[in-house]
Amino acid sequence: MSDVPTLSRTAVDRAAERRDDTDWLAKAWETGRLLVLNDGGQVTVDDDGPALVLTESAAWSGDGERFLLGVAPDGTAYWGTKGELPRKLGARPLDLRLVGAALSDLDAGLLVTLVALSNWHETHTHCPRCGAPTQVTQAGWSRTCPADRSQHFPRTDPAVIVLIHDGGDRALLGRQPAWPAGRYSTIAGFVESGESAENAVYREVLEETGVVVDDVIYRASQPWPFPCSLMLGYEARAVGGEVATADDELEDVRWFTRDQLRAGEGMMPPNASIAYWLINGWLDRQPTGD
């Protein structure tokens, strides 16, 4: 199992100190590489790799906003924009959920950043203070209101996601009615205003499964820009309560042993999800017993 969840991988410097440097940005556009995302959230992916198909940014004629995604160790500046996808023989349009886990560290980081930025810009076009249309600033990393000069930054909503275990060889997974038949996954929910992530773990697990947990341990986080979540991954031990689908979010909650999960009983969540990473990380460890 990889050290970090697949969509947490990256290979560029975000170069935040360059975002206001217009001379540097102009040069970086002239020599940079561009990743294009279409309205369906897809990019062109070469089956050989698979690898993202990028174009020379200087040759781009689209009029979408340009976002500076970062600078690679070799000095290459990577940009992102919305527009019509470049075509290439042997390549096809794919979205982040489908291809994210299979991409290189560089490609995965570029794509997840572009999807997250693009989702935010599309839904935050006006000033929340005065309602005036805002302008893209800082190479895509903020929007500024021309009327009152207020500055607004891309938003990320924290959510907790929890692998619940019994301290031994069983994990508690649930399924949502909309999922493909047989799929089970970890328990997840948004952190509410004024709430700590740990308290969100206790609350969400109790609401969705009826189980009381303790020994909450943080494992890792992963961006999940559908549209703008940051998943905070935890493990927690069930210490009380009774398994029940207390609210309407889950249609079933049940315990699985490692052998049952390895045998395919309970179909796994998509491999780009942190749920997949949490479950596999737990599977890879031997039961410690009580």
Binding residues vs Zn ion (CB under 5 A): 127, 129-130, 132, 145, 147-148
Nearer to Zn ion, 142 or 257 (CB): 142
Structure tokens at 85: 């996808």
The least distance separating Zn ion from the CB of residue 157, rounded to whole angstroms, comes to: 23
The least distance separating Zn ion from the CB of residue 178, rounded to whole angstroms, comes to: 38
Question: Which residue type occupies 107?
Answer: D
Q: How many CB atoms lie within 10 A of CB 164?
A: 25
The least distance separating Zn ion from the CB of residue 144, rounded to whole angstroms, comes to: 9
The least distance separating Zn ion from the CB of residue 142, rounded to whole angstroms, comes to: 13
In sequence order, the 6+-apart residues with CB closer than 8 A to the CB of 33 are 54, 55, 56, 57, 76, 77, 78, 79
Which residue in 47, 134, 137 sits closest to 94, CA to CA?
Answer: 47
Nearer to Zn ion, 127 or 275 (CB): 127
Nearer to Zn ion, 151 or 196 (CB): 151
CA 184 to chain centre: 19
Nearer to Zn ion, 130 or 217 (CB): 130
In sequence order, the 6+-apart residues with CB closer than 8 A to the CB of 286 are none
According to DSSP, the β-strands at 211-224 and 252-257 are: unpaired
Nearer to Zn ion, 135 or 196 (CB): 135
The least distance separating Zn ion from the CB of residue 124, rounded to whole angstroms, comes to: 12
